[in-house]
A and B are shown apart, each in its own frame.
Chain A
Amino acid sequence: MKATARAWERFFFAPTSVATMVVVRIAFGLVALAWTASLAPDLASFFTRRGIVPVQPSNRFWIGVLSPSAPDWAVYLTWALLLVAAVCLTVGYRTRLSSVLVFVGIVSFERRNPLIFNAGDVLVRNLAFYVMLAPAGIALSVDAWRRTRAGFWTFAKRAPWALRLIQIQLSVVYASTVWAKVRGNDWNDGTAVSYALRLEDLARFRVPSFVATNLALSNLFTFGTLAIEASIAVLVWNRKARPWVLGAGVVMHLAIALNIMIGFFTMAMLAAYLSFVPPDAMERLIGRVRRRLDNARSKRQRGLVTATNPSG
Chain B
Amino acid sequence: MRDLQEKVESDPVGRAAITGVIIFVLLTLLASNLSDSAIRSWLARLVEPVRNGLGLDQAWGVFAPDPRSTVYDLYGRIRYDDGTTEIWRWPKGDPFISEYRAYHWQKWAEQVRLDDNSDLWRPAAEWLARTHDRAGRHPTEITLVRRWYDLNAPGTHPSRGPWNSFEFFTLQVSPSLLASGAQT
Could you say which of A161, A201, A261 contacts B72, with CB atoms under 8 Å apart? A201
A135 on the B face (CB < 8 A):
yes
Query: Smallest CB–CB gap between B166 and chain A, Å?
Result: 16
B41 on the A face (CB < 8 A):
no
B176 on the A face (CB < 8 A):
no
Could you say which of A52, A126, A192 contacts B63, with CB atoms under 8 Å apart? A192
Q: Which of B22-30, B78-86, B135-143 forms contacts with chain A?
A: B22-30
In this complex, how many residues of chain A approach chain B with their Cβ under 8 Å: the count is 86
CB-based contact B101/A42 at 8 Å: yes
A200 on the B face (CB < 8 A):
yes
CB-based contact B60/A180 at 8 Å: yes
Could you say which of A50, A62, A199 contacts B71, with CB atoms under 8 Å apart? A199
CB-based contact A115/B120 at 8 Å: yes
**Interface 1/0s, chain B 1-37, versus A by CB < 8 A?**
0010110010000010011011001100100110100
**Interface 1/0s, chain B 134-167, versus A by CB < 8 A?**
0000000000000000010111000110000000
Q: Is the interface of A mostly helix, strand, loop or mixed?
A: helix
CB-based contact B154/A218 at 8 Å: yes
Residue from A119, A175, A176 whose CB has the most chain B CB atoms within 10 Å: A176
Could you say which of A50, A186, A198 contacts B181, with CB atoms under 8 Å apart? A50
* A46 CA / B131 CA spacing, docked (Å): 13
Query: Smallest CB–CB gap between B10 and chain A, Å?
Result: 8
Q: Which residues of B contact A239 (CB under 8 A)?
A: none
**Interface 1/0s, chain B 97-129, versus A by CB < 8 A?**
001111111111111100000001001100100
**Interface 1/0s, chain B 47-63, versus A by CB < 8 A?**
01111111111111111
CB-based contact B33/A51 at 8 Å: no
Q: Which residues of A contact B6 (CB under 8 A)?
A: 135, 158
CB-based contact B107/A119 at 8 Å: no
Query: Smallest CB–CB gap between A132 and chain B, Å?
Result: 10
Q: Can you give 17 contacting A-B residue pairs, CB < 8 Å? A: A46-B104, A54-B123, A60-B49, A107-B55, A116-B105, A117-B107, A123-B58, A126-B56, A129-B54, A159-B18, A165-B25, A172-B60, A181-B63, A186-B69, A187-B65, A195-B68, A198-B159
